Structure 1
């Protein structure tokens, strides 16, 4: 993958992830069932890849952080699936991208990384967009409960942001791709059982048609999507990566309309536009790519003094 333009890798990964909501709806199962099988059916692909990678590059350090990150990812899967039922596949994928605001806040709280100047003014725009997308100005026809669905989507975004933050922390200085996805998948599968089971139930025998859609979801969304995105992110600046990842919600809304016949209200579409705009502003330069010194503040140069901020060490 080193020979491929990382922008192409990220676009391909975002495209794979954007289909996840469509496949979940087509499977017709509960969010807990979809989250569990998304992880379980990915294991036959991930285990051989991780074993081959371990022989080539050695064992994964900070494996425990990957598993904890996976627990958050599992919570994201369950809440996101519930959001799809409430607000529709396309808009649910837009809402979960509020994680772009979560990651810089965690980086600031833990490592003192200051968000970009555009972050603060982007937050109210983001909240307004979430409210509109959630149906506060009138419900569309794409979901059963847009308001509740928007709350689930926001919760999924918080969990997703925590997953990305811990994955970024655990991946410092390491070249592994399959092992972190495998470990996170194990954690996500456990969380989907713990959360989705008591809440919505996990059907361990959903039937062959559903299993077929879930198998496609596991390969595309869980294996291909995360492997490609994980390979691209360390090689791209945060502003470029953030802009390209916005293809994910845009593609999800388009695919939801074309494949599932979802017809969001105009106010909800306007809310999606505000969310995408705010995400672009909030994510501009707010998180830096990893380097050899650790996950510290983004190197900032003052145009007049040329000073650079010190980088915080990873414990």
Structure 2
């Protein structure tokens, strides 16, 4: 059952990432500032998760530290979303999402420094291949876009913010196992509060939607992309290592790149497509683990669920 749980977590993480990437289309077409878009996304999802928590009877964790970690995860997620939105406006959905995927290196470093997650030679090689693949995909952008520098800086920093957010999700569960709807409610609250001042400073005059169509797209963005996609991601992260999580999250930029090419008619050369294939190969390599480590991880989660539900 634990093996099946791990597989379902990996599948849920990939599905969440693909849906997450589709949200970049909404950001690119709705005329609202990047910080304001992050605020509305988290505010809408916060209401939905609060209702789901009430309906299902889920309660806040007793540990104040767990609550603090969840709120901090929301703060970092808010900055991740806002900076990712700014990068989308500068370099487009595909490239910005690829830059955001550099979170894998931050996640691997955090896993090594704070969670004692030792990396195998194959996993280290896969990280190098992933870095090369992302570089190949983004190589042509500087030659044709004057806003590339801004887009690359905000995209890379957004990856660091997302890595921090995911780390605090794991720390929340390590402190006290937290029901998913309550966890997402706390994350939304933390993000909304963190976005208020930056939104009023950077996006004044561009905070509210202008048409009912934009209102509808914002509602979809907050409900589907945040509740469904990020909910799947948050549910899956505690069941996987941080390094594997980061590698699986690379499915998001691949999906965004395909969307950019097929729906938004963005030119993508052979070098960029080769980088996409190389990145997918890196994901496969990164998912391989020695059998002994797999058994130890499965044994840990079996004991965890036994304590939780006994």
TM range (shorter): 0.7 to 0.9
Q: Secondary structure of the equivalent of 1:206?
A: coil
Aligned twin of 2:307:
none
Q: Secondary structure of the equivalent of 1:115?
A: coil
CA contact under 8 A between 1:238 and 1:283: conserved in structure 2?
Answer: no
CA contact under 8 A between 1:239 and 1:284: conserved in structure 2?
Answer: no
Shift of 1:282: 5.4
Distance change in 2, residues 1:192/1:139 (3 Å)? farther
Q: Does 1:70 align with 2:74?
A: yes
Paired with 1:189 and 1:264, the residues of 2 have a C-alpha distance of: 36
Paired with 1:114 and 1:20, the residues of 2 have a C-alpha distance of: 34
Instruction: Deviation per CA, 1:238-271: give whole Å up to 9, x if none.
Output: 7876665443222221122233222234444444
Aligned twin of 1:30:
33
Aligned alpha-carbon RMSD (Å): 3.4
TM-score when scaled to structure 1? 0.77
Aligned twin of 1:221:
225
Paired with 1:71 and 1:238, the residues of 2 have a C-alpha distance of: 19
Distance change in 2, residues 1:118/1:186 (3 Å)? same
Distance change in 2, residues 1:189/1:56 (3 Å)? closer
Q: Secondary structure of the equivalent of 2:258?
A: helix
Q: Secondary structure of the equivalent of 2:102?
A: helix
TM-score when scaled to structure 2? 0.78
Q: Secondary structure of the equivalent of 1:40?
A: helix
Q: Secondary structure of the equivalent of 2:12?
A: helix
Instruction: Deviation per CA, 1:32-86: give whole Å up to 9, x if none.
Output: 1211111122222111112334x34663640110111111111111111111122
Paired with 2:243 and 2:127, the residues of 1 have a C-alpha distance of: 17
The equivalent position to 1:49 in structure 2, one of 45, 48, 52, is 52
Unaligned runs of 5+ in 2: 305-310
CA contact under 8 A between 2:71 and 2:189: conserved in structure 1?
Answer: yes
Q: Secondary structure of the equivalent of 1:41?
A: helix
Q: Does 1:87 align with 2:54?
A: no
Distance change in 2, residues 1:122/1:84 (3 Å)? same
Which structure has more helix as a fraction of its residues?
A: 2
CA contact under 8 A between 1:123 and 1:278: conserved in structure 2?
Answer: yes
Shift of 1:101: 1.9
Write out aligned runs for 1:235-246 (5 A): 235=239, 244-246=248-250
Matched positions, count = 290
Distance change in 2, residues 1:102/1:14 (3 Å)? same
Write out aligned runs for 1:274-313 (5 A): 274-278=278-282, 281=285, 291=301
Write out aligned runs for 1:154-303 (5 A): 154-172=156-174, 174-201=177-204, 203-207=206-210, 208-235=212-239, 244-278=248-282, 281=285, 291=301
CA contact under 8 A between 1:242 and 1:284: conserved in structure 2?
Answer: no
Aligned twin of 1:12:
15
Shift of 1:177: 0.5
Unaligned runs of 5+ in 1: 295-315
Paired with 1:64 and 1:100, the residues of 2 have a C-alpha distance of: 24
Distance change in 2, residues 1:221/1:257 (3 Å)? same
The equivalent position to 1:111 in structure 2, one of 109, 115, 135, is 115
